Amino acid sequence: MKHLLSTQDLGDTEFEGILELAARFKRGESSSALLGKAVGLLFFNPSLRTRVSMDLAVSQLGGTPVTLDVGAGVWDMEYRDGAVMDGDKAEHVREGAAVLGRYVQALGVRSFPKMKNLEEDLADPVIAGFARHAGIPVLNLESMRDHPCQALADALTLREKLGPTRGRKLLLTWAYHPKPLPMAVPTAVVHVATRLGMDVTLAHPEGFGLPVAVMAAASANAKRSGGSLHVTSDATEGFRGADVVYAKSWGGIEWYGDWENEKRARADHRDWLVTEEKMARGAGARFMHCLPVRRNVVVADSVLDGPRSIVLDQAENRLHAQKAILEFLLATR
Ligand code: CP
């Protein structure tokens, strides 16, 4: 059974094959690889880009998308094994996944971490439950573990904009946000940028590091690809000479599940906003963000609306990358 839960699941041939096919789709190549097939798209959390681009990707390959919002027209689902289901959840992932597996040929699932218990969130229980019980390929549409669709679209975008990526400098900078957000996107970015051989600087205030396993995987990627990974708590250092500035906010691992204390800690870090002045230190740096983004909290209007911003290219490339992913998942069944 082939699932795609993280880009770390992909061998180099698979990774390169998906990117090459995505580029062909972008150039206008067509495919009916999903003719006669249905793909379930199950959302435990809101989405604009993932939802629309997945729906279109399935349709453009000749398939039928079945898009469902858990808890809104579809039974809310329990995921804990052994749970006594006397609360508001009417269906267990064990049956929900297995039933969907009898109707559709692949399943995309978005399920954000609960942001209360780090150990439980790191186990990614909802996505893991679907992968275990659906009996069909499962595609992660963003969970604690990764956001592989974003990562592959970003890899496509980086290659389009930079050409060869090896040795090019990418700054992934934490940004202030009024809420603690999941770590899926920063995880996806460090996984993929180190894999592309880039010199990656990860900048975040003290207490906002990424999980140990993510950093270990990124370091191993960098070693294999000839790239590098450097961590700093200096808000401006990484801008110097950067080819790419990728901004994202995420929750503080040091206060995980303790929002009141994290809120106090992050109040001091509003100056992590990406401004024109900081961008000017780069080597004509492109600005990237996965979207949605909070204007003038994460990034200044002038940067987001300026000529160096490539956020819309990233969003467009979600469609091309996901068509390639779907063909990869279903062609190998
Ligand atoms: N970048 C991204 O995944 O966007 P959505 O949350 O709108 O799907």
| CB contact at 8 A, 188 and 146 | yes
Pocket test residue of 42, 43, 45, 49 for ligand 1, highest count of atoms within 8 A of CB:
49
Cβ neighbors of 14 (< 8 A, separation 6 or more) are: 328
Q: Looking at residue 332, what is its pLDDT?
A: 52
Q: Whose CA is nearest to atom 1 of ligand 1?
A: 290
149: CA distance to ligand 1 center in Å? 10
Q: Whose CA is nearest to atom 4 of ligand 1?
A: 49
Pocket test residue of 67, 69, 290 for ligand 1, highest count of atoms within 8 A of CB:
290
318: CA distance to ligand 1 center in Å? 9
For each of the domains in the chain, give its residue range(s) and CATH number, in order of start. Answer: 7-146+318-330 (3.40.50.1370), 150-314 (3.40.50.1370)
Ligand 1 neighbour 8 (Cβ under 6 A): no
| CB contact at 8 A, 330 and 105 | yes
Q: Looking at residue 46, what is its pLDDT?
A: 97
Q: State the 10-residue block means of pLDDT for the chain, 333 residues long.
A: 95 98 98 97 98 98 98 94 96 98 98 96 97 98 97 98 98 96 97 98 98 98 98 97 98 97 95 97 96 98 98 98 97 59
Query: What digits encode the pLDDT tens for the residues 66-97?
Result: 999 999 999 999 999 999 999 999 999 999 99
| CB contact at 8 A, 83 and 76 | no
Neighbours of 255 (CB within 10 A): 18
222: CA distance to ligand 1 center in Å? 27
Q: Looking at residue 333, what is its pLDDT?
A: 42
Ligand 1 neighbour 50 (Cβ under 6 A): yes
Pairing of strands 38-43, 106-110: parallel
Ligand 1 neighbour 142 (Cβ under 6 A): yes
- For the entire predicted model, the pTM comes to 0.97
Ligand 1 neighbour 314 (Cβ under 6 A): no
Residue type, 217: A
Q: Where are the alpha helices (DSSP H) in 163-306?
A: 184-195, 212-225, 259-266, 276-279, 301-304
First and final C-alpha spacing in the chain: 7
Q: Is the peptide bond before 292 cis (omega within 30 degrees of 0)?
A: yes
Q: Where are the beta strands (DSSP E) in 162-265?
A: 169-174, 199-203, 228-232, 244-248
Q: Looking at residue 1, what is its pLDDT?
A: 79
Average pLDDT, the chain: 97
Q: Is 236 helix (H, G, I), strand (E, B) or coil?
A: coil
